[in-house]
Amino acid sequence: MYVIIVAIILILLHYYGTRRYYYWEKRGIKHDKPLPFVGNNLKQFMQKASMAMTANEVYRKYPEERVVGFYRATQPELVIRDPVIAKRILVTDFHHFYARGLNPHKTVIEPLLKNVFFADGDLWRLIRQRFTPAFSTGKIKAMFPLITKRAAKLQTLADGITEKEFYDARELMARYTTDFIGECGFGINMDSLSDENSQFRKLGKRIFVRTFRDTFISALKWIFPEVFKNFTMLSPEIDVNMTRLFQGVVEERNHKPSGRNDFIDLMLELKEKGKMIGESIETKNLNSTPRIVELELTDSLMIAQAFLFFGAGFETSSTASSFTLHQLAFNPDYQKKVQEEIDRVLAKYNNEITYDAVKEMSYLENAFYEAMRLYPSVAYLIRECTSTNYTFPELNLNIEKGIKTIIPIAAIHNDEKYFKNPEQFDPERFIDGPKECIRNFIFLPFGEGPRACVGARLGQMQSMAGIAAVLHKFTVEPAACSVRVPKPDPMGIVSEGFVGGLPLKFKKRVQ
């Protein structure tokens, strides 16, 4: 009897762990053979590859296909290799793909993930609508003096590391961006530039470190979403620390705007305006018009937005800026051109890194874009089908609601089909700007469409200011331990890191 019971249990488990693996075969879509329960995602679940690395591998393995099937645990996903189809998902048919689908369970979402990046549906739309003005040109100009101050402090810090054989450029720029986020986000002097062991720098590191606990919980939530729906993918310590940070600042201001014009002030101002009200993206009235929905901007929602501003604000910018420095260190001729432009422009602005000065640095911008092409901070985009049934007209392929699509932008950026000699760092490929490449959906460093990065311009200006600050006073060179093509960190979650960081030699310029 026991043998029969065990056999039945094993059969049921096997069925549960393989029940959807017919999906792509039935539709004639090529894919690797999935393993029970883990699908094609074993490497990520074992911390051997990040989500982006896995998507890039699938992209390269099927060079003749426009789309490729994939299974994350037991869930079918579709990897997009064709920019035309990517455009359809991100822009043309966005109303069928407005969800990111980063939460394994739809009804139980942990508090910190209720932010404009992770949220879906009406929650996303109302938050995005209310917070977009925070990143207008006027707002960026208003906060730029904070960037100027931090850039000057960055130069002082860099001056102290010139005697070292090498210093991790990734850590240097992370300390700079963490300091800026603290000041313009929370009105706090985080002092990450002066104190390498700053508690805020430690918090920033923890957000993007994937421990065994985090990976294990994440795997369980993907494989058994209903059973483990109340488990949190983020470590509880992150939630506690972010809540404490936010509440401390807000209580100090008596829950009212302080006049600092930072991100906390902005949220307090938005809260005073009352409920967020807008047209639903999820539901319609009987006459097919969108329903009007509303949402209270609670402390929990504000903490979630502050978490995103803190985490994504420093992580993506520091990755982009440090990798730009890394590439310029290995390409001294281009570095010299960037420095000549920086010197020429800053001479017009009293050698002060202002908003207008950075706007004039077009060659630096080209170098920044080229570094983002080679190694975009966010190396993939994910969108979930939100319609009951959707058909890709280019493929005559029908997918169901809930199927996720993955656009591996790092792989597209490095495809010789779209960029000549893609492995080479060449800022002059963007000499006329990136608009044509963006229009063709082959260059998407900040995403595209209604869910493109809301803080893209701020992140870019912050990064370029930091690079300009370093290269105005210093030259960067490869150190003895530097690697021209650094290995991506398999522990990456949303943003991509590097194994061993980006060690460089910093030398004072003779001017």
Residue 395 burial (CB < 10 Å; 0-12/13-18/19+)? middle
Question: Residue 15: CA atoms inside 13 Å, Cβ hemisphere, count?
Answer: 6
Helices (H), 187-262: 199-207, 212-223, 236-252
Instruction: Of 288, 289, 256, give the one whose Cα is nearest residue 271.
Output: 256
Encoded amino acid at 425, one letter = F
Angle between helices 263-272 and 169-186 (to 10 degrees): 30
How crowded is residue 298: how many other Cβ atoms within 10 Å of its Cβ? 12
Instruction: Of 42, 60, 74, 98, give the one whose Cα is nearest residue 405.
Output: 98
Encoded amino acid at 148, one letter = T
Q: Helix, strand or coil for residue 286?
A: coil
Residue 352 burial (CB < 10 Å; 0-12/13-18/19+)? exposed
d(Cα 310, Cα 187) in Å, to the nearest integer? 12
> Exposure pattern of 412-423 as b/e (b: 16+ CB <10 Å)?
bbbbeebbeebe
453 carries a ligand binding annotation: yes
Binding-site residue numbers are 453
Known binding residues for heme: 453
